[in-house]
Amino acid sequence: MAHSGSVLSRAENFIWLTARVLEQRRFEHDFLDGDPSAVETALDAYRNADGGYGHALEPDLRGPVSQPLHTAAAVRVLDAIGRCAGQRVERIGRYLTAVSTPDGALPAVHPSLRGYPAAPWIPVVDVPPSDLLATGPVVGTLHRNSVWHAWLFRATDYCWHTVETLDKTHPYEVRAALTFLDGVPDRPRAEAAAGRLGTLVREQLLVVTDPDRTERFPLPDGYAPGEHHYVTDFATAPDSLARRWFSDAELDRCLDHLLSRQEEDGGWDINWRRWAPGTALEGRPLVTLEALHTLRAYGRL
């Protein structure tokens, strides 16, 4: 245990109290020098025979079937433990190829979800369009791990085209674009695209730069009350391309704000809409891990 009362020790208590086994194992690996194989074993419980991941790995999509957003979450976990390679990724690549849209990208939601519970804002359609929300994080993370897979060629082209032509966007799409840009090999092109994206984010007031004045930042259509995104949601680490979008003062204010949002029980809360009892319970340890990683990256733990 960390020393009593610290940000980390309180978060650790919350994780043991509340989190799924996967998030417990991730915390153990990330902050207590735990075994990456234990994380992978926990993640395997979500893996299906088709190589994709299901079983509410992303809490807002329920049911057993593999989904692109679950699989994107699995890729992020494998990346965090240094296991985003080899046969695991081969299996994932086969799944991604099988569920891709005609332009080689991923839909946010595959129609196999129909009939299982899902958040009311997640539409299930028969022929879903390509979506940067699912595609960007997978492509960026695979590139960052120097993965070679045939699926990546057209998916990468899709991401470049989508990111470079974005005009009206919203925070979750921006975060997906950033994960792509932070991982893709062509750094000069990524830096140029990130510069343009940062301008859009500021012009459209998609990021709260002053947490004392959230009322100056309108919520995007369909977002829940309080579902704001702060500097720390985009510039999650000093080496992120989004770090250049913000002044030191803006970053410091939002790091203070992130610290202040730790709850009495030691965890952070979700700010999106609660639609079922389990989703908030499972979502909180996920946002708690994110908060801890960001605070550690900036030397605030």
Name the pTM for this structure: 0.96
Q: What is the pLDDT of residues 36-93, one digit of tens each?
A: 999 999 999 999 999 999 999 999 999 999 999 999 999 999 999 999 999 999 999 9
Q: What is the pLDDT of residues 254-282, one digit of tens each?
A: 999 999 999 999 999 999 999 999 999 99
Q: What is the pLDDT of residues 94-119, one digit of tens each?
A: 999 999 999 999 999 999 999 999 99
Full DSSP string of 103-131: TS--BSS-GGGTTS-B-TT----SSPPB-
Q: Which tokens in the block code for residue 53?
A: 């991941």
Tell me how far apart the alpha carbons of residues 267 and 274 are, in angstroms, rounded to a whole number: 17
